[in-house]
Structure formats: C-alpha cells, structure tokens
C-alpha cells in the first residue's frame, strides 16, 4: 500500500513532540508566557548532546534557526520551569507512544474531521473495514452525513481484502494521526492509565 505524498504524512517516528509546533491544543500549555521555541530550547539543553542533535535534524530550517537563537539567549533556567517543561514534553511523547488505531474511539469529532482527507479515503476505508464496529461508528459520526456517505460508499465497493492489509492500513492511519499531533494539527487522547508502556 502506498502512502499519500501529502506533507501531513509523518515518516519521522523520532520527531520530537512540541519542538516545532504551538502549545498542545488539549490545554496542556504550561506557562502561557513560554514560547514553543523557549520550551524547545529548554528540552534540548536538558538532553544528551547526540540526542538533541538527532531531534534538531528532524526540524525544518526555520525551526532550527528559531530554536538555536533561543538556546543562545536562554540564560539560566529555574529548576521549576525546567521540570514543568520536561514534564509536558514527556506527557506529549507518552500520548504519541501509546496511541493506536483503536484509540480513535476516544478522540474528539473535530480532531477526526481534521485528520480525514479525500486522498486517504481508500486507506481509511480499508482500515475501518478490518476494525471493530465501535470504531467505524465513531468515525462515521464524527465525519457528518456528507463525508460519512462518501466513506460508506468506499467501504461498500472495497471488495474482499486480507486482514493483514487492513492492519497495515490501520497502522498507516495511526502514524498519520501521530504526525498531525506532532505538528499541532490535532490532539491525541490521554493515555489509558491502565495500559503499560513496554520499552
């Protein structure tokens, strides 16, 4: 299955959350006086040099210049501010790490609408064809009548499919959503506290 070449598609799984985007739409914005560039500078100066360099390599030129300038002007950072920024960074990364296709049921309708694009229609259809009825119902409800009708027709004309192809489509959609989260376009749901992260 080929991936749409849209810029919204993320292929950099190691992309650092909140390094090149506005504060998280879910309301986890920390100090309103902190700019995203300042937060990024605090995170990068707290990381191992090699890891910080790897994260910077995934940013565009304008973001790198903004963050580099912020690092140069940073000065001393209060321990409380550093802790708060690192905690926010960790929480955003945890959302990304734990997010799976099944978590669509816990996303807002607005975020699902923002993530659904016509060029990805067949991928969405295949992913939903192999999913639970609750997930299909959630997406259909979120899209509204017009777009849900288009999706329904795509599902009807899908024909036979392999479960492995549906699972691959689900992974593709999940990665698309993670990338949109990285860019500040949508917000992923909070991780389920009952889940454990396997490192």
- Domain co-membership, 92 together with 109: no
- Residue 174 belongs to domain spanning: 101-182
For the ranges 147-156, 169-178, 186-195, the lowest mean pLDDT is seen at: 186-195
State the CATH number of the domain containing residue 162.
1.10.220.30
Give the number of domains in the chain.
2
Q: Are residues 116 and 163 both part of a single domain?
A: yes
**pTM for this model (two decimals):** 0.58
176: its two tokens: 């698309």
Other C-beta atoms lying within 10 Å of the C-beta of residue 34: 16
pLDDT per residue as tens digits for the range 41-96: 888 888 888 878 877 887 778 888 888 998 898 888 888 888 888 877 766 666 67
Cα separation, 135 vs 101, in Å, equals: 9
pLDDT tens-place string over residues 150-163: 999 999 999 899 99
């Amino acid at each position: 299955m080929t991936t749409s070449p849209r810029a919204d598609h993320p292929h950099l799984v190691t992309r650092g959350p909140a390094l090149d985007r506005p504060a998280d739409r879910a309301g986890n914005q920390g100090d309103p006086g902190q700019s995203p560039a300042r937060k990024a500078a605090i995170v990068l100066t707290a990381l191992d040099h090699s890891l910080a360099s790897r994260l910077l390599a995934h940013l565009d030129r304008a973001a790198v210049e903004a963050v580099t300038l912020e690092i140069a002007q940073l000065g001393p950072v209060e321990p409380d501010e550093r802790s708060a920024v690192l905690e926010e960074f960790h929480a955003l990364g945890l959302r990304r790490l734990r997010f799976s296709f099944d978590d669509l049921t816990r996303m807002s309708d607005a975020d699902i609408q923002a993530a659904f694009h016509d060029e990805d229609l067949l991928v969405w259809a295949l992913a939903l064809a192999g999913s639970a009825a609750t997930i299909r119902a959630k997406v259909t409800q979120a899209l509204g009548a017009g777009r849900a009708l288009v999706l329904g027709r795509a599902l009807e004309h899908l024909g036979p499919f392999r479960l492995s192809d549906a699972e691959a489509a689900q992974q593709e959609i999940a990665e698309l959503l993670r990338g949109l989260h990285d860019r500040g376009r949508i917000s992923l749901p909070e991780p389920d506290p009952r889940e454990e992260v396997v490192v």
